[in-house]
Structure 1
């Protein structure tokens, strides 16, 4: 924190984000950050890996500061995801959004960045409750991680550590901003139907009226006794909502042979097995599209842990890291991503930030 304070010396920050490796002493990092930066909000979360100046990173703490000269923020904290009132939360969002717009009239661009406990299984309900209250404000976000242990994720606001919580940062800025979501998956004609499920726990018990794990393994051509995170990353499944497809990533197999998913699942849902494009080439193409008129000065990204695992399995980690570094992406690997009213997986969501029109200096 002392090193960070020196790095930001002379810059008045509106907010500081810390994406913290689960190997770090999270409580101490959060506490020391609040002491080192008393004049701004500090929001910290644990990760499933970090994205730094050189791309994918491990065992790191990534700090992202929003200078007050270009940004104003307000926080909407949801301390208990298990028991929030959707209508009351939407009312709070409306009031907070109006307050921020009134306080930061010189900053015409608005967006929201959500950090949600990645083991809460409440991301879908939260973003669905918030969506009607966002107005024209775009929302993206990531679910907090615990490496590959899936044991306990952490979050803190201004030094206070929270469990089972979410923090939505509402941002006003004089920079141009473009919220985006991308994935490198294309649905195939291979489909399966969820015939028995427990939506509350995101558990699928039967696919095509057969035990879920064994039927999934049969459909994708894998040994049912060797289904693991690597297999799920290699054979993702998607659902179609309207004209778009969204990944429904599998987290694990239970001892009973059920499949536990990272996001919402229900009986009757049709799952299509997806085919992957070359991840590095796709990422280069998508991020380059954000630079058609002007290159972003920075990109804040939330990248699914399954993308990192797929890159490792395909020996593409270095190539993907080079793309991330070249396009100035920083952020973290997540247990899921949010875009607008939807919680998704196996994607990258984020915001590209462009220099303010006046002066063109990098924020």
Structure 2
């Protein structure tokens, strides 16, 4: 049976973003994706690939298969296709050159980032894009980051100095919860400790969004010992971190599981809003490793979820208040998916994603503006020019 994305939705009008997906095990997977996307030509092709794929071969061959398009992508912890939540797939999302122009920046050695040099490179790239597409007023950026680099917070903070008011969304690569390698790829090769920033200009309206379904409770804790460079919390309320977190849940530390971390994240308050800090795992010494920045003195608030299905239905409907988007590119936290499936809500979430033409991947964290966040669904909704 054909994959639901083998005939991508195209909608009315020209230069519509298109998507396709094939199983990672498909012989000639890239050629199959190229056929499914159609003739293009494309300015940009994003590839989101299950770690079941031969990622090195995929990265090496993709530029020739999709030329003259720019190509970049990353490994995933699950995919979003025409079936909703999916796994073992390679997803392609393409921007036609008739309606979009791009510049692509490869950012390497994230652990030795030079913010001044990065901002200078970014400003040059923005200027070059502006000269090539002066009549297309809409501008945004998509950021893909090595999901195990631990550098997302510093990177998005540095980029904000050169992006100004340009919206940026994106995700941290995953590796299906193995926590071994979560690379990005660009310029024909896999890249670790690296990121890829794609600057986009278009006549299309590209609206960023970020939906989070948690709300704060009255239960608070204070980080009293931490190693920010490793995103490691050793002690909370001056007690071993895992033990104290488990106590607030009414559990023994040995009962902590990835599903419990997903169902009971903690929040930190920044910029007048609460943001999730997802826990990755318990360390042998009883510490907790997080997916985002953490530091001593932070107040952690235990979160509780609202109805995931009702919340997502309402938020996606809100994106269609003035007309439905042609398609939506989404970066959905792996822990959101884990929570949905653990609560037996995966099918209902998938039905909503399909109904609203959402495609993308499950991530180890999401980028929105100058923030690296967890346990959200973040992305871009694409509206044709006539919709404005």
TM-score category (smaller protein):
over 0.9
Runs of 4+ in 1 over 4 A off after TM superposition: none
3-state SS of paired residue (1:30): helix
Aligned to 1:255: 284
Q: 1:41 aligns with which of 70, 85, 95?
A: 70
Aligned to 1:322: 351
What is the number of residues matched between the two proteins? Answer: 359
3-state SS of paired residue (1:193): strand
Q: Does 2:48 align with 1:19?
A: yes
Does the 8 Å contact 1:26/1:154 carry over to 2?
no
Instruction: Determine the C-alpha separation between the residues in 2 that align with 1:180 and 1:67.
Output: 22
Aligned to 1:120: 149
Unaligned runs of 5+ in 1: none
Instruction: Determine the C-alpha separation between the residues in 1 that align with 2:71 and 2:380.
Output: 19
Aligned to 1:67: 96
3-state SS of paired residue (2:300): strand
Q: Does 2:253 align with 1:224?
A: yes
Q: Does 2:366 align with 1:337?
A: yes
Q: 1:206 aligns with which of 231, 235, 246?
A: 235
Give the TM-score normalised by structure 2: 0.91
Instruction: Determine the C-alpha separation between the residues in 2 that align with 1:247 and 1:127.
Output: 17
3-state SS of paired residue (1:82): helix
1:337-356 correspondence runs (5 A): 337-356=366-385
Aligned to 1:296: 325
Q: 1:159 aligns with which of 176, 179, 188?
A: 188
Post-superposition offset of 1:222: 2.1
Unaligned runs of 5+ in 2: 1-29
Does the 8 Å contact 2:145/2:183 carry over to 1?
no
Does the 8 Å contact 2:149/2:192 carry over to 1?
no
Q: 2:270 aligns with which of 241, 251, 255?
A: 241
Post-superposition offset of 1:93: 1.0
Give the TM-score normalised by structure 1: 0.97
RMSD of aligned alpha carbons? 1.2
Q: 1:309 aligns with which of 333, 338, 356?
A: 338
Aligned to 2:85: 56
